[in-house]
Amino acid sequence: MNKFVGYRCSLCGEGYSPLEVTYTCPKDGGNLDVVLDYDALKNKYKPEDILSRSDPSLWRFLPLLPVQEPSRAATPLHVAGGTPVYRLRRLAARLGLQSLWLKDESRNPTASFKDRASAIVVARAQEISAEVVVTASTGNAGAALAGMAAAVGQRAIIFAPRSAPQAKVAQLLVFGAKVILVDGTYDDAFDLTVKAAEEFGWYCRNTGYNPFTAEGKKTAALEIWEWWEGAHEKWHEEVDADEDHVPLTIFVPVGDGNIISGLHKGFKDLYRLGWLPDVPRIIGVQAEGSAAISNAFHAGSEAIVPVSARTLADSISVDLPRDGVRAVRATKETGGTYVNVSDEEILQAIAELGTQGVFAEPAGAAAYAGLVKAAGSGVVGSEDPILVLNTGSGLKDVRAAMQAVQPAPIIEPTLEAVKQLL
């Protein structure tokens, strides 16, 4: 069965066949949605067929992905996806919420959500026999591409801003990618990557620009669907909810807007297959100093006006978001909204998540910071079931982590000194 039938432009609606285009709409530069053969999929599969697959990684959803099964031998790093969901009872109580969970994407192989996109893009690169895959990255997308490429012996080139956190640059280098640090912003690196890919014939993974990134990211929505199918009945009994289907509310940190639009795409795919009655409510969280998508949403517009981004959350520091239009729609079409958080609120969130055993990088903690704000202002109710995404590991940016906590005291190695301290 040929499940991948083409693309549709998110701006003008024009359709393209799979080999007709590679990146964005030739007419207006709009990002392309991957179109699957929903009728054929519906005829061939039931949810049970997919949920009974034994592969715990994101490849368990292969029937709904626009790539063929990558050969086992060629792709040892098959563990992207399948990330755990934790119940955060103490933080829920502190916020006056009944039910709060966190999906920990820091548990992906290179420690961020980006592994989902890179797994699918590298599978696509192998299908189209690309020699080199290149990406612009604030660090995580590059680490994910470099790691996945290293695992399958694919050549990778990464353009990152020279200000990228050390740990992320170390990952790129250790994975053996060609790393080029750009004396400029992520946006500068992005534009340069597109030009270089064109000039040298490289396959470009750039977030949003490459339609397969959202397809990889949608696998988190498929996992959330599967998890909530199993969890919501138990939850119903526990809280004694009367309604049959109380939709989940999901908090997502937003930079380029590709994670949030990928999640939305995943839920829309499930809805079109008739497998999901209620699409969850999606709430995007942006850093105050990098809020171009939030600005557009609150202006009731899809016109994304670039900002001059300033935030310590480097993974969501973006002047011109590359998936802004679809990111606005992800909240508008699901009854969600956008919340902005300050760097201080992000640091506070790192510390609070830490008290429940979750170590998040600043961008990852931003989603929780957004929930704190939303709970305080009535955007979510105390009875709403809520899922927060942590998109990246705190080990990615230790400098920021140290800003979130008090420094440890240093003492003489004597019992006397310990007594004095306590």
Ligand X SMILES: *Cc1c(COP(=O)(O)O)cnc(C)c1O
Q: How far is the C-alpha of 174 from the C-alpha of 167, rounded, in Å?
A: 10
Binding residue for ligand X (CB under 6 A) from 211, 247, 257, 324?
A: 257
Binding site for Zn ion (CB under 5 A): 9, 11-12, 14, 25, 27-28, 30
Q: Report the sign of the C-alpha dihedral through residues 280, 394, 161, 80, in that order.
A: negative
Which of 32, 115, 112 lies closest to 66 in space, CA to CA? Answer: 32
Interface with ligand X, residue 259, by CB under 6 A: yes
Binding residue for ligand X (CB under 6 A) from 216, 392, 397, 404?
A: 392
Q: Which does 253 bind (CB under 5 to 8 A by kind): ligand X, Zn ion, none?
A: ligand X
Q: Which does 258 bind (CB under 5 to 8 A by kind): Zn ion, ligand X, none?
A: ligand X
Binding residue for ligand X (CB under 6 A) from 31, 118, 185, 207?
A: 207
Interface with ligand X, residue 363, by CB under 6 A: yes
- Least separation in angstroms between CB 306 and ligand X: 14
Interface with ligand X, residue 206, by CB under 6 A: no
DSSP secondary structure of 344-358: HHHHHHHHHHHTTT-
Interface with ligand X, residue 254, by CB under 6 A: yes
Kindly state the tokens that stand for 317: 């520091």
Interface with ligand X, residue 193, by CB under 6 A: no
Binding span for ligand X by CB under 6 A among 227-235, 255-263, 274-282, 409-417? 255-263
Residue nearest to ligand X (CB): 392
Kindly state the tokens that stand for 294: 């939030």
Binding residue for ligand X (CB under 6 A) from 223, 269, 343, 361?
A: 361
Binding span for ligand X by CB under 6 A among 64-72, 108-116, 155-163, 404-412? 108-116
Amino acid at 87: R
Task: Give residues with Cβ within 8 angstroms of 138, minimum separation 6.
Answer: 160, 161, 164, 168, 186, 255, 314, 315, 317
Which of 338, 344, 352, 339 lies closest to 394 in space, CA to CA? Answer: 352
- Of 212 and 275, nearer to ligand X (C-beta) is 212
- Distance between start and end Cα atoms, the chain: 68
- Of 6 and 284, nearer to ligand X (C-beta) is 284
Binding span for ligand X by CB under 6 A among 70-78, 159-167, 273-281, 359-367? 359-367
Evaluate whether 52 touches 41 at the Cβ level (below 8 Å): no
DSSP secondary structure of 366-413: HHHHHHHHHHHTTSS-TTSEEEEEE-BBGGG-HHHHHHTSPPPP---S
Interface with ligand X, residue 255, by CB under 6 A: yes
Q: Which does 255 bind (CB under 5 to 8 A by kind): Zn ion, ligand X, none?
A: ligand X
* Residues within the interface to ligand X (CB under 6 A): 112-114, 140, 207, 253-259, 315-316, 361, 363-364, 391-392
